[in-house]
Amino acid sequence: MPSLDTPLAATATATPGGEELGLDLPDFSSSLYKDAYSRINAIVIEGEQEAHDNYISLGSLIPDQAEELARLARMELKHKKGFTACANNLSVTADMEFAKEFFSPLHGNFQTALAEGKVVTCLLIQAILIEAFAISAYHIYIPVADPFARKITEGVVKDEYTHLNYGQEWLKANLEASREELEQANRANLPLVRKMLEQVAGDAAVLHMDQEDLMADFMTSYQEALTDIGFTPREIARMATAALLG
E strands along the chain, which residues? none
**Which residues, 32 to 61, sit near ligand PL3 by CB under 6 A?**
40-41, 43-44, 47-48, 51
Taking the C-alpha atoms of residue 223 and residue 174, their distance in angstroms, rounded to an integer, is 18
Taking the C-alpha atoms of residue 226 and residue 218, their distance in angstroms, rounded to an integer, is 12
Residue 173: strand, helix, or coil: helix
b/e 168-191 (16+ beta carbons within 10 angstroms → b): bebbeeeeeebbebbbebbebbbb
110 binds ligand PL3 (CB under 6 A): no
For residue 17, what are the CA distances in angstroms to 43, 98, 154?
Answer: 34, 39, 21
Residue 134: strand, helix, or coil: helix
Considering beta carbons, is residue 180 or 198 the nearer one to ligand PL3? 198
133 binds ligand PL3 (CB under 6 A): yes
217 binds Fe ion (CB under 5 A): no
Number of residues that bind ligand PL3 (CB under 6 A): 22
Tell me which of 34, 39, 52, 79 binds Fe ion, using CB under 5 A. 79
131 binds ligand PL3 (CB under 6 A): yes
Considering the complex, what minimum distance in angstroms separates the CB of residue 46 from ligand PL3? 8
193 binds ligand PL3 (CB under 6 A): no
Considering the complex, what minimum distance in angstroms separates the CB of residue 180 from ligand PL3? 26
Q: Which amino acid is at 71?
A: R
Rg (CA), the chain: 18
218 binds ligand PL3 (CB under 6 A): no
Binding stretches for ligand PL3 (CB under 6 A)? 40-41, 43-44, 47-48, 51, 76, 79, 83, 86, 130-131, 133-134, 137-138, 141, 160, 163, 200, 204
Binding stretches for Fe ion (CB under 5 A)? 48, 51, 76, 79, 160, 163
